[in-house]
Amino acid sequence: MMMALSESQIPPDAQHYLVCGTEDCEKNCQFYCNDCHQPMCEQCRDEHQKNKKTKNHEVVHYKQRKQPLPLEKCKIHPTRNIELLCEECQIPICSKCTGTKEHRGHAFTDLELVFDEKCSHCHIEINKIQSYFEPTSQDLKKEIAGDVTEIKKIMEGIKTSMKTEAESVKKMVETITSDKIKQVNKIEQSLLESLNGQNQKIDDYINYLNDLIQTFYGYLSPSNMEQLTFALKSENLVIRPIPETSKPVPPVFTAGQCSKEDVAKLLGRITVPNTKPENRKLKPMETAYTQLKPTGKQRKQDREKSDVKQTLSLSSSVTKVRKYTVPGVNDVYHISLGKSGRLWVSDRYGNLVQTDLQGNQLQKIQTIGNRDEGYHTVTQDGDLIYTDKCNKVINRITPGNTITEFIKTGDWKPLSIHSSHINGDLLVGMRKDREGKVTRYNKTGTEIQNIQRDNKGQALYSDPHYITENINGDVCVSDCGIAVVVVDKSGQHRFSYTDQGSGFYPYGICTDVLSHILVCNGFSEKVHLLDKDGQFLSLLLTSQQGVHIPCSVCVDNENNLWVGHFTNTVSVYKYLQ
């Protein structure tokens, strides 16, 4: 379901169809007269500049136009429009106000010039925010997220070390305790042996006493009086004394004097350095996007790209460069351009084929599921990344053809994927139940951003089946059967494009070096061309250019447009000059 845009979300210069403002002319607008405040096509511009009345007018490219002064009535003279600025009073006035005593002798400036200057300043500040402050803030968020991961890793290491140290001390205590118990056992054995000896002495003495009693009873017999008389005189009747015994002296256990602090010392200590945290370094605005010092070759390539961008413009006509059939697929639902003049093509049956630029098959992979999505992309390193919505994972294929499970997406089904040409991030369109979202991962597969709702809490996506990124950082999504939804790098909703006509069914989507957005209409034989703010510029391709139900689009390094059809054919067009 389409969400209504708030005024703050619609770019100030966005409109559905940009046409020439000349009466009865419906051609695409490319220029603008700052004096007449009128958009015009190339032909009308030439006629405008030949006209004697308007030949001195300032005619510029549409994007360089001056903002027209909003019409506002003077509060003092309601029939007049405000058109001047009193430089002394710094208030806007009408021409009639110049003659009043409040402004007599004051200097005045054309309010349109002031307004244009202020608008230009606002655009400059907006550009600063979008090109430096917001991206730099996002980079800081990434850096902080990296620090969070690093701190967790360090703290986990400390915890592991502490547990290892504690285990070592525990084993040491167990060893010492075992030795001391052995010592106690020896002492116990010695004491018990001594007591057992004493006990045996007493047993022997008791036996002696019993024998002595029997002897005395014998003497008491009347028939043996002589023997009794003799015995009483004998020393044999003297009773031996009781043997000496001694009490054992048991050992005494003295508890250790180890305190909790002593144990803590044994286990090491944790200290936080008394160092003032170092402020994070911000890149200078001039080098905000410079990640690495470029090589001479890279600088040359950057200069060439910059030169191309400055000289390129939309061609007045679209030319077909070539067309070929892709073996191994039934249709061409998505195209991913790789390095060395190779590309990956997929159809709705999960056939994923790599070909050269002549259409010769190099390799083929069978993926899972019905695939009418942009489910694969080639990274800056040349790896193929593709989604598996059935198993809810993202796989990576390295140049050595090794397939590895790269990212698990939990409960969400990954549908579409795009590898950023700006920083190598992965943008993934996902779906769960009836709601969609876009998740950003860094090169290592760490989740760093989720884009799901606008600032009013409403869902942005339903079925994000194709996804790409513009050179300004905007994330552009074809939401199946609904609209092209564009958010900025921070995830704020910028606009949604629906063609406001019947039968618009967005499919394959891409962007070019001029920030144009190109999108296939899956229910017609058309490819729409938009500017970065969602303004419709033209129907770039129609059936007249041989397009048959376009499903996928991409732009190569030579600024050629590749179009995949509902058949197993690919057409290549030149549309920039």
* 520: its two tokens: 């296939």
Q: Which of 308, 333, 222 is nearest to 512 (CA)?
A: 308
Distance between CA atoms of 387 and 395, rounded to whole angstroms?
6
The pLDDT of residue 395: 94
- Residue 510 or 25, more confident: 510
Q: Which of 17-26, 71-80, 480-489, 562-571 has the lowest mean pLDDT?
A: 17-26
The pLDDT of residue 370: 63
Distance between CA atoms of 188 and 194, rounded to whole angstroms?
10
Where is mean pLDDT largest: 11-15, 342-346, 479-483? 342-346
pLDDT above 70 (res 306): no
> Quick check: helix, strand or coil at residue 187?
helix
Question: 225-233 and 134-219 helices cross at what angle (nearest 10)?
Answer: 120
**Antiparallel, parallel or unpaired: β 59-61 and 91-93:** unpaired
Neighbours of 463 (CB within 10 A): 19
pLDDT above 60 (res 301): no
Distance between CA atoms of 428 and 392, rounded to whole angstroms?
12
pLDDT category of residue 116 using cuts at 50, 70 and 90: confident
Per residue in 515-572, pLDDT (tens digit) is 999 999 877 789 999 999 999 999 999 888 878 889 999 999 889 999 999 889 999 9
What domains sit in the chain, N to C, each tagged with a CATH number? Answer: 138-242+259-274 (no CATH), 330-503 (2.130.10.10)
Q: Which of 478, 446, 445, 441 is nearest to 460 (CA)?
A: 478
Which residue is listed with tokens 């979202």? Answer: 437
pLDDT above 80 (res 99): yes
Report the Cα–Cα distance between both ends of the chain, in Å, rounded.
Answer: 38
Q: Which of 315, 314, 294 is nearest to 303 (CA)?
A: 294
C-alpha distances out from residue 56 to 26, 32, 49, 51, 53, Å: 25, 14, 7, 9, 8
- Residue 260 or 541, more confident: 541
Per residue in 160-207, pLDDT (tens digit) is 888 988 898 899 889 999 999 999 999 999 999 999 999 999 999 999
The pLDDT of residue 290: 37
The pLDDT of residue 464: 95
Distance between CA atoms of 302 and 549, rounded to whole angstroms?
36
Mean local confidence (pLDDT), 301-306: 50
Average pLDDT, the chain: 84
The pLDDT of residue 242: 92
Per residue in 280-299, pLDDT (tens digit) is 877 776 544 333 344 444 44
Per residue in 33-48, pLDDT (tens digit) is 988 888 988 889 888 9
Q: Contact at 8 Å (CB) between 83 and 69?
A: yes
**H/E run at residue 215:** helix 134-219
pLDDT above 90 (res 504): no
Where is mean pLDDT largest: 340-344, 465-469, 531-535? 465-469
